[in-house]
Amino acid sequence: MMAIFEYAPAPESRDIVDIKPSYGLFVNGEFVDGSGTPFKTVNPATEETLAEVATASPDDVDRAVQAARKAFGVWGALPGAERAKYLFRIARIIQERARELAVLESLDNGKPIRESRDVDVPLVAAHFFYYAGWADKLEYAGFGRRTTNGHSGTKPLGVAGQVIPWNFPLLMLAWKIAPALACGNTVVLKPAETTPLTALLFADICRQADLPPGVVNIVTGAGETGAAVVSHPDVDKVAFTGSTEVGRIIARAVAGTDKKLTLELGGKAANIVFEDAAIDQAVEGIVNGIFFNQGHVCCAGSRLLVQESVQEELLASLKRRLATLRVGDPLDKNTDVGAINSAEQLAKIRELSEIGESEGAERWSPACELPERGFWFPPTVFTGVAQSHTIARDEIFGPVLSVLTFRTPAEAVEKANNTPYGLSAGIWTEKGSRILWMADRLRAGVVWANTFNKFDPASPFGGYKESGYGREGGLHGLEAYLDV
């Protein structure tokens, strides 16, 4: 009898995806060349080049904005029910091409196929379905009804310039494009330079759905392209998800203009475990909080606040559980933790982890073999962390957990809120009244109770303080795209 049960490799086939050697920009319904120097996008799990992608110059961006402006005349004037038809069609095509999108997302981003298949892509389709449903009901969203005296609560803003990050490339695209289109705006979207491919596949889906040309424009490139998008004078609305550092630059660029702005930035969330928590599920929540998507999650539960009375048993359970995490090939269906998205991000995670060690926190990782090529970092836990440690303050944006302790609920709140960020928080207790007491006091846009990293298109998402402003998702998410 074999004593050990080893899972054989179970790779998802990449044959379903047809990656072209090079990609242009998607402007006015057509793929066109960019005038900037093209860049390469790589598979972070292998460092293999996947494709060459065009860089949009400021002139290219201008053409995209002009196309969006022209299309706005048509799109913004369509009855909501007509816009909904396109959005429903896009949602259905996303479902039909789900496997293709999931494989491409995992290839370009490094995230496990289990997550792109079971979380990212289903949520993307759900977002389009959700906002398709709003398109003809905007007058009932609570922002005012169209009246005969000229007041309109449902007017779109115009052209939206949107810049999205590399951690959830397609999902962040959906968060941006679905509400914008439902409200009657047109968009110019710039995906991150390390993960442009699913956005370009989405462009193909727009064509498949017969979306009028210019309603969605995708411009690829690095920071300069993004800067050209947000600072373009004919853009009415800017939406950005990414680092707080870049968010500040954008806020400065937009200041003094008529542009509306929403920012969804960094986080350093506290995941708070009380002594009466359901320990096994809390452990799962901690794992899901910080190791989901390699910790490349702005709302990641990167600070574990555990009540001192259960610290020992909780950490023992957590470490035992982490030893079962399967780190490796993102396309293997049994992989739990994939590759770090880029060499640059890996360097940042390494640097902060070294600072954690040099400042005296205790570092631990389960035994795990990392592939030789590609960008990899083992799941890592720092214990003995205090609020004054750098790794308790700075967003690491990687699979690194900082463990702190507390004695009382009041102290838990104090430590949880003692951060410049305020995007999310988690509470683990079997006591319902304590959940409510805590949720009232936590300064975070999302508070999860006995769960973590749960997303739904009907639920608004956004931050306090340096985590940004404005809300995406749900009814609240409409407001950012309406002239209210």
264 is catalytic: yes
Assigned token pair, 279? 């320990």
Give φ, ψ of 318 to 5 degrees: -65, -45
As measured in angstroms, the least distance from the Cβ of 446 to another protein is: 17
In the chain the first and final C-alpha atoms are separated, in Å, by 69
Q: How far is CA 397 from the centre of its chain?
A: 12
| Between 7 and 367, CB nearer to another protein | 7
3-class DSSP assignment, residue 104: helix
As measured in angstroms, the least distance from the Cβ of 295 to another protein is: 18
Among 115, 264, 395, 479, the active-site one is 264
| Between 59 and 280, CB nearer to another protein | 280
Among 298, 299, 395, 479, the active-site one is 298
CA distance 228 to 189: 11
Contact indicator for 155, 478 with CB cutoff of 8 Å: no
In sequence order, what are the residues at sequence separation of 6 or more whose Cβ sits closer than 8 angstroms to the Cβ of residue 293? 111, 115, 167, 168
CA distance 23 to 44: 19
As measured in angstroms, the least distance from the Cβ of 444 to another protein is: 20
298 is catalytic: yes
The enclosing H or E element of 32 equals strand 30-32
The residue type of 103 is: V
As measured in angstroms, the least distance from the Cβ of 312 to another protein is: 8
Angle between helices 169-182 and 80-96 (to 10 degrees): 160
Q: Give the binding site for another protein (CB under 8 A).
A: 1-10, 114, 118, 276-281, 284-285, 312-313, 316-317, 324, 333-334, 430, 450-451
As measured in angstroms, the least distance from the Cβ of 279 to another protein is: 4
As measured in angstroms, the least distance from the Cβ of 13 to another protein is: 12
| Between 9 and 223, CB nearer to another protein | 9
In DSSP notation, 362-403 reads EEE----PPPSSS-----EEEES--TTSHHHHS---SSEEEE
| Between 112 and 477, CB nearer to another protein | 112
Active-site amino acid positions: 264, 298
